[in-house]
Chain A
């Protein structure tokens, strides 16, 4: 059974601080996605990484896929209150059709 473990589960920081969220598994994924979900809404895709070691940047967000394609990290620089939300990592297995999600990291950025 493929599992994705996210850490930390909850993070409360001040505006302007940096943070890193981790997503780990013992399984290899063909691709890994990061989503952000706000209360009462569905997850919104932030990025997809597909190559081991790949790094993608989206403004203040930096995403990295592990060399072995088993883990990933999301780093936010100078967090803002608008970054508040639930961050989910999701891995697509080599089977193709199924994506599994981690339990999420709930981020709260205080002004």
Chain B
């Protein structure tokens, strides 16, 4: 059973640029959730994808967008990067009721915006 894989592990971008983060879900999991974790904080919910559709969104602006593919892998895209976007971005996979039973997280992508 493979776990959740995220790429890249680290990334440095300039303010105003765009970035794409990738996530391969755990085998058998059909739901992917993305979280942003700033230094010293708990993870903040960005959005969730189920059956290739956005299935709920947290308090993040539209420049945060995502995709889920037929193999359940997912991408997080952030446009017009701001300095405050610097954080650890976590992907979590689960079955459809994952919010109830808990998630399997990847190791995250550390994004630094300069």
Contacts and interface: CB of A to CB of B under 8 A. Distances in A.
Interface of A: 4, 6, 30-31, 33, 35, 40-45, 48, 50, 88, 90, 92-93, 95-104
Interface string B17-53: 0000000000000000101000011111100101000
8 cross-chain pairs, A with B, having the tightest CB-CB distances, nearest first: A42-B105, A101-B42, A97-B56, A92-B99, A45-B102, A33-B102, A103-B42, A48-B102
Interface of B: 4, 33, 35, 40-45, 48, 50, 55-56, 58, 90, 92, 97, 99-108, 110
Contact of B45 (A31, A96, A99): A99
Contacts, number: 70
B100 A31 contact: yes
Contacts of B44: 101
A92 B103 CA distance: 11
Contacts of B40: 103
A96 B90 contact: no
A91 to B, nearest CB: 9
Contacts of A88: 42-43
B105 A43 contact: yes
B43 A98 contact: no
B42 A104 contact: yes
Contact of A41 (B45, B58, B92, B108): B108
A1 to B, nearest CB: 9
A101 B43 contact: yes
A62 B82 CA distance: 41
A31 B99 CA distance: 8
Contact of A42 (B4, B55, B99, B102): B4
Nearest to B43: A101
Given A30-B100, A42-B105, 4 more contacts: A40-B108, A50-B100, A96-B99, A99-B99
Contacts of A6: 42
Nearest to B56: A97
Nearest to A93: B99
